[in-house]
């Protein structure tokens, strides 16, 4: 039951070029920084990355974009990354933009074993192209398919050696859903404790969804956009 590994380099063993990865985080909050750095140093390429956003130019998934390690991004918000924009406009990067709520639900559905669902978001826009449409309660809905990944990489505040995880505040966004939807889930945590030390009522992700866990180091925890009066 002990799922601990030594560090990020050991945790990402088995990730190979061409795989699909889910990467947790919301903006720059809750990013698995250690795992992303290990991937950036690995030389792995041709990745499909599912993430709410693509980091910034020199942080988060921006590191993998700069190295040309990502072939396709499936995401919701990409407005803070100039290199992402350049690769998109030049045709170097394949991109699937998804309404944020739909992206979250597609990840959650993948973890819950729900293959597809109908949602009204995106009807009448480019998002609807090629998708089945049905009317429910007089309103058109699009058929959306669940998302799963070869590996899900998430970041939590606390975890135990059995893989149980607790997130803090905004860092919970996407991490919890993605932790369920990976065939193999890697969790990096700020504090790793022995099994039994976490309050069962506070656990967000049960350890059954996590295969590898390690305590990260040197978290930068950047602020994406600082506004001062």
pTM score of the predicted model: 0.94
Indicate the SS3 state at residue 37.
Answer: helix
Where on the phi/psi map is residue 76: left (φ > 0), alpha (ψ -120 to 50), or beta? alpha
Give the integer Cα–Cα distance in Å for 97 and 103.
Answer: 9
Tens digit of each residue's pLDDT (9 = 90 or more) over 167-178: 999 999 999 999
pLDDT for 135 equals 98
pLDDT for 220 equals 87
Residue-range domain boundaries for the chain:
8-117+147-215
CATH 3.40.1080.10 is the classification of domain 8-117+147-215: yes
Residue 158 has pLDDT above 80, yes or no: yes
Indicate the SS3 state at residue 127.
Answer: helix
Contact of 189 with 215, CB cutoff 8 Å: yes
Q: Please give the helix or strand (H or E) that residue 34 lies within, else none.
A: helix 33-40
Q: Of 161, 156, 147, whose CA–CA distance to 211 is shortest? A: 161
Tens digit of each residue's pLDDT (9 = 90 or more) over 113-151: 999 999 999 999 999 999 999 999 999 999 999 999 999
Residue 78 has pLDDT above 90, yes or no: no
Mean pLDDT of 140-166: 98
Tens digit of each residue's pLDDT (9 = 90 or more) over 204-229: 999 999 999 999 999 987 877 778 87
pLDDT for 79 equals 75
Give the integer Cα–Cα distance in Å for 180 and 176.
Answer: 7
**What residues contact 87, with CB distance under 8 A and at least 6 apart?**
65, 93
Give the integer Cα–Cα distance in Å for 136 and 33.
Answer: 42
The 10 Å Cβ neighbour count of residue 159 is 30
DSSP string for 55-109: -BTTBTTHHHHHTT-EEEEEESB-TT-HHHHHHHHHTSSEEEE--HHHHHHHHHH
pLDDT for 147 equals 98
Contact of 4 with 214, CB cutoff 8 Å: yes
Residue 153 has pLDDT above 80, yes or no: yes
pLDDT for 74 equals 97
Q: Is 153 exposed, middle or buried (0-12, 13-18, 19+ CB in 10 A)?
A: buried
């Amino acid at each position: 039951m002990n799922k601990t590994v030594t560090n990020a380099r050991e945790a990402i063993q088995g990730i190979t070029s061409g795989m699909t990865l889910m990467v947790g985080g919301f903006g720059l909050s809750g990013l698995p920084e250690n795992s992303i750095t290990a991937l950036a140093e690995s030389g792995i390429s041709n990745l499909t990355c599912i993430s709410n956003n693509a980091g910034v130019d020199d942080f988060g998934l921006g590191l993998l974009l700069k190295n040309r390690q990502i072939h396709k991004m499936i995401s919701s918000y990409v407005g803070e990354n100039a290199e992402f924009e350049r690769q998109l406009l030049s045709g170097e990067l394949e991109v699937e933009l998804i309404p944020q709520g739909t992206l979250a639900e597609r990840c959650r559905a993948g973890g819950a074993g729900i293959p597809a669902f109908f949602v009204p978001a995106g009807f009448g826009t480019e998002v609807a192209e090629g998708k089945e449409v049905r009317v429910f309660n007089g309103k058109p809905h699009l058929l959306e398919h669940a998302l799963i990944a070869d590996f899900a990489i998430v970041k939590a505040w606390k975890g135990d050696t059995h893989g149980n995880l607790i997130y803090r505040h905004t860092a919970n966004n996407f991490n919890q859903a993605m932790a369920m939807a990976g065939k193999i889930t890697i969790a990096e945590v700020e504090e790793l404790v022995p099994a039994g030390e976490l309050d069962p009522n506070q656990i967000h992700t049960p350890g059954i969804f996590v295969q590898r866990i390690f305590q990260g180091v040197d978290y930068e925890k950047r602020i994406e956009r600082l506004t001062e009066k």
